[in-house]
């Protein structure tokens, strides 16, 4: 069975090349570029001002040794990788960014942002982390307005409620299209691979903005053809796996590869580098698009939030839709909030959904691949 790639666009199947080319084109046009680190960054505000956001989180083991000359070895590998690229001067996305917007999602990132501010102009947003409080949305709206002022002063640009509203509607359309694409993994057997879902998510957030929507529509047409032609991934009886937890990318995708090598297929990548950033919706035509933006972003169920009941609620919706056989919680070493939260996730999965659950704590190295394979194969055999 020959499976035609979804994105045969001259970039060798590497979405980073396409995004890098996109940023380079905008840079040559004179458009300002701002670096961002998290799904809480107000992308629609940034784009409404004619500024291009560039995602700076890194997932490679290569620069970690360099980072550890300054950062502690027992720090989250995502932070070390991101900062190591900056120290080495080898991150083209950071090089093109003229300023940085950062959010206080964890203590490690907060301290990294202090170091980054010595290299490049950085605005740190104080993220409310008790999202159910009335004051949370009010305070996050104030922070978004402060970012707007920062961008106006830094880049001599402006926006309007009309432009922001248009950006919100465009993001809603993008999220609808992304949800349709992810839904092809809910088919048994799945007609889309984890690699394709990961690549498409990489393209759709955050840099390419509303320009990605026509591309997503074309991908849906191709996926419809796969359904019609009976094309699918894995085997009809492959173990269906929902992977939740920390962001996965680059060298961390080893977990997806091991799952596949062990006879499974990833049907739901539940993280901020997968489905999470596309599952919500902005309220439209409220008369206050900044408030609508603040409300939507604070509903992203990152483990930095407390109590993070929405993560469990969203997880239940994903389980009901994608019908996984098992759930794996992916936790990066030294990511304490996700690590502690894994206890609740495990109880929720096993008690409320009666599914096998496995917590995996790892980093970006290859040293534990054999161990991971043994544990995942044992999980599959327990079904």
- Report if residue 8 sits inside a domain: no
**What is the C-alpha separation between 84 and 98, in angstroms, rounded?**
19
Give the torsion sign (CA, 203, 206, 211, 217): positive
Do 137 and 188 reside in the same domain of the chain?
no
Place 1 in a pLDDT band, splitting at 50, 70 and 90.
Answer: low
92: domain CATH number is 3.40.50.11890
Do 246 and 124 reside in the same domain of the chain?
no
Do 149 and 296 reside in the same domain of the chain?
no
Average pLDDT, the chain: 94
Give me the residues paired with residue 103 across strands: 125
Do 210 and 288 reside in the same domain of the chain?
yes
- Report if residue 234 sits inside a domain: yes
Which of 159, 190, 210 terminates a domain? The answer is 159
Which of 129, 159, 189 terminates a domain? The answer is 159
**What is the C-alpha separation between 155 and 199, in angstroms, rounded?**
31
**What is the C-alpha separation between 79 and 58, in angstroms, rounded?**
8
**What is the C-alpha separation between 244 and 261, in angstroms, rounded?**
19
- Report if residue 188 sits inside a domain: yes
Do 137 and 190 reside in the same domain of the chain?
no
Q: Judge residue 222's burial from the number of C-beta atoms within 10 Å of its C-beta, 0-12 exposed, 13-18 middle, 19 or more buried.
A: middle
Do 54 and 41 reside in the same domain of the chain?
yes
Q: Of all residues in the chain, what percent carry a pLDDT higher than 90?
A: 90
341: domain CATH number is 3.40.50.11900
- Report if residue 376 sits inside a domain: yes
| Domain span including residue 286 | 162-381
CA neighbor of 321 nearest in space, from 123, 182, 115: 182
Q: Of all residues in the chain, what percent carry a pLDDT higher than 70?
A: 96
What residues contact 24, with CB distance under 8 A and at least 6 apart? 96
Q: Judge residue 285's burial from the number of C-beta atoms within 10 Å of its C-beta, 0-12 exposed, 13-18 middle, 19 or more buried.
A: exposed
Do 128 and 226 reside in the same domain of the chain?
no
Report pLDDT digits (tens) over 349-365: 999 999 999 999 999 99
Number of domain units in the chain: 2
Do 219 and 74 reside in the same domain of the chain?
no
What average pLDDT does range 241-267 have in this prediction? 97
Do 154 and 189 reside in the same domain of the chain?
no
Secondary structure (DSSP) of 318-341 = HHHHH--SEEEEEEETT-HHHHHH
Query: What is the reported pLDDT for 292?
Result: 98
**What is the C-alpha separation between 103 and 188, in angstroms, rounded?**
39
Which of 138, 159, 180 terminates a domain? The answer is 159
Query: What is the reported pLDDT for 11?
Result: 44
Residue 8 pLDDT more than 60?
Answer: yes
Give the torsion sign (CA, 135, 140, 146, 152): negative
> Is-contact 287 252, C-beta < 8 A?
no
For residue 45, give the 3-state DSSP assignment. Answer: helix
- Report if residue 180 sits inside a domain: yes
Do 246 and 199 reside in the same domain of the chain?
yes
- Report if residue 9 sits inside a domain: no
Residue 230 pLDDT more than 90?
Answer: yes
Query: What is the reported pLDDT for 219?
Result: 94
Query: What is the reported pLDDT for 294?
Result: 98
- Report if residue 329 sits inside a domain: yes
**What is the C-alpha separation between 95 and 210, in angstroms, rounded?**
24
Report pLDDT digits (tens) over 260-270: 999 999 999 99
What is the SS3 assignment for 243-287? Answer: EEECCCCHHHHHHHHHHHHCCEEEEEEECCCCCHHHCCCCCCCCC
Residue 14 pLDDT more than 80?
Answer: no
Do 261 and 155 reside in the same domain of the chain?
no
Place 9 in a pLDDT band, splitting at 50, 70 and 90.
Answer: low
The structure's pTM equals 0.96
Q: Per mean pLDDT, which range of 12-26, 77-91, 176-190, 361-375 is the poorest? A: 12-26
Dihedral of CA atoms 160, 273, 319, 128 in degrees, nearest 10, equals: -50
Report pLDDT digits (tens) over 297-333: 999 999 999 999 999 999 999 999 999 999 999 999 9
- Report if residue 340 sits inside a domain: yes
Place 6 in a pLDDT band, splitting at 50, 70 and 90.
Answer: confident
* Residue 311 per-residue DSSP state: H
Q: Higher pLDDT residue, 269 or 208?
A: 269
Do 208 and 344 reside in the same domain of the chain?
yes
Secondary structure (DSSP) of 202-223 = HHHTTTTGGGGHHHHHHHHHHH
């Amino acid at each position: 069975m020959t499976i035609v790639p979804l994105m045969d666009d001259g970039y060798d199947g590497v979405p980073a090349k396409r995004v890098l080319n996109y940023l380079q084109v905008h840079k040559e046009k004179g458009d300002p570029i701002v670096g961002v680190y998290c799904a809480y960054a107000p992308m629609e505000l940034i784009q409404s001002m004619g500024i291009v956001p560039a995602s700076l989180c890194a997932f490679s083991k290569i620069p970690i040794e360099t980072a550890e000359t300054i950062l502690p070895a027992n720090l989250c590998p995502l932070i070390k990788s991101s900062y190591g690229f900056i120290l080495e001067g080898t991150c083209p996305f950071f090089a093109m960014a003229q300023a940085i917007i950062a959010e206080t999602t964890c203590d490690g990132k907060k301290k990294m942002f202090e170091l980054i501010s010595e290299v490049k102009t950085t605005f740190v947003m104080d993220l409310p982390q008790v999202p159910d409080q009335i004051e949370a949305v009010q305070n996050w709206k104030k922070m978004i307005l402060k970012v707007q002022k920062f961008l106006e002063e830094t880049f001599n640009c402006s926006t309007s409620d009309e432009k922001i509203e248009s950006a919100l509607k465009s993001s809603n359309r993008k999220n609808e299209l992304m949800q349709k694409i992810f839904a092809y993994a809910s088919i048994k057997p799945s007609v889309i691979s984890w690699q394709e879902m990961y690549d498409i998510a990489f393209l759709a957030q955050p840099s390419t903005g509303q320009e990605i929507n026509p591309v997503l529509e074309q991908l849906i047409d191709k996926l419809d053809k796969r359904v019609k032609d009976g094309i699918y991934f894995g085997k009809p009886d492959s173990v269906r796996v929902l992977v939740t937890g920390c962001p996965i990318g680059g060298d961390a995708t080893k977990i997806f590869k091991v799952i596949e090598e062990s006879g499974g297929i990833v049907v739901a990548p539940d993280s901020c580098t997968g489905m999470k950033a596309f599952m919500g919706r902005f309220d439209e035509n409220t008369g206050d698009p900044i408030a609508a933006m603040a409300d939507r972003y604070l509903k992203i169920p990152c483990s930095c939030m407390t109590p993070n009941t929405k993560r469990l609620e969203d997880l239940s919706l994903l389980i009901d839709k994608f019908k996984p056989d098992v759930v794996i919680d992916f936790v990066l070493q030294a990511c304490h909030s996700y690590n502690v939260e894994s206890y609740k996730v495990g109880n929720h999965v096993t008690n409320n959904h009666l599914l096998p659950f496995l917590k995996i704590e790892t980093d970006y190295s290859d040293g534990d691949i054999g161990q991971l394979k043994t544990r995942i194969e044992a999980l599959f055999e327990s079904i």
